[in-house]
């Protein structure tokens, strides 16, 4: 692969092949599996090393047994299992955004809410920053500082 991505109905779901460094003698990098929402459940029940091994097996379905010969090392990261996040981003089900959006950002007394879930740019730093600026501005409008 010379850059790009593959989308499949395998547990891998989305595979990314970075295009930089092509033609160099250095080892390449592949993001074997990028999943979110319910697609993460089978992965999150595995240890880090088990996830790497399972991803290799699934990559072999797409690219053949050569993946085992060419594999050097792998790492795995689960946002759900990370102790400081408990997940990567909000992922609304149908109708939830319409129903919940007006309430997510509404201040509760002196408490203001911010984060990607409190913006229209879910799952992106842009949304987190935008909502943080808005919450700070709303707070500043309510508070008279000396």
The secondary structure of 102-146, three-state, reads HHHCCCECCECCCCHHHCCCCCCHHHHHHHHHHHHHHHHHHCCCC
Say whether pLDDT at 6 is over 90: yes
Cα(51)–Cα(56) distance, rounded to whole angstroms?
9
Structure confidence by residue, pLDDT tens digits, 86-117: 766 777 888 988 898 888 888 888 888 888 88
Q: What is the mean pLDDT of residues 133-139?
A: 89
Inside any domain, residue 77 = no
Say whether pLDDT at 145 is over 80: no
Q: Which residue has the tokens 């090393």?
A: 49
Residue 83 per-residue DSSP state: T
Inside any domain, residue 58 = yes
Lay out the sheet containing 31-34: strands in order across.
4-7, 14-17, 31-34
Residue 138: CB atoms within 10 Å = 16
Name residues whose C-beta falls within 8 Å of residue 88's C-beta, 6 or more positions apart in sequence.
36, 79, 80, 123
**How many helical (H) and strand (E) elements, i.e. helices and strands, does the chain have?**
5, 3
> Does residue 53 share a domain with residue 15?
yes
Burial 33-72 (b: 16+ CB within 10 A, else e): bebeeeebeebeeeeeeebbebbeebbeeeeeeebeeebe
Say whether pLDDT at 146 is over 70: no
> Does residue 56 share a domain with residue 22?
yes
Number of domains in the chain: 2
Inside any domain, residue 44 = yes
The CATH code of the domain that includes 101 is 1.10.10.1620
Inside any domain, residue 76 = no
> Does residue 100 share a domain with residue 66?
no
Structure confidence by residue, pLDDT tens digits, 28-69: 899 999 998 888 889 999 999 999 999 999 999 999 999 999
Note down the domain range covering 32: 4-70
Among 70, 86, 119, residue at a domain's last position: 70
């Amino acid at each position: 692969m010379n850059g790009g991505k593959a989308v499949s109905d395998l547990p891998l779901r989305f595979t990314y092949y970075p295009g930089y460094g092509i033609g160099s003698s250095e080892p390449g990098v592949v993001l074997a599996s990028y999943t979110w929402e319910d697609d993460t459940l089978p992965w999150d029940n595995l240890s880090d090393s088990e996830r790497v091994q399972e991803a290799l097996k699934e990559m072999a379905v797409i690219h053949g047994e050569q993946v085992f010969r060419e594999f050097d090392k792998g790492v795995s990261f689960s946002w759900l299992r990370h102790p400081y996040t408990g997940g990567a981003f909000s992922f609304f089900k149908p109708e939830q955004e319409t129903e919940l959006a007006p309430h997510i950002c509404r201040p509760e007394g002196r408490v203001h809410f911010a984060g990607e879930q409190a913006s229209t740019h879910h799952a992106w730093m842009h949304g987190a920053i935008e909502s943080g600026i808005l919450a700070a501005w709303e707070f500043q409008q309510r508070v008279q500082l000396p």
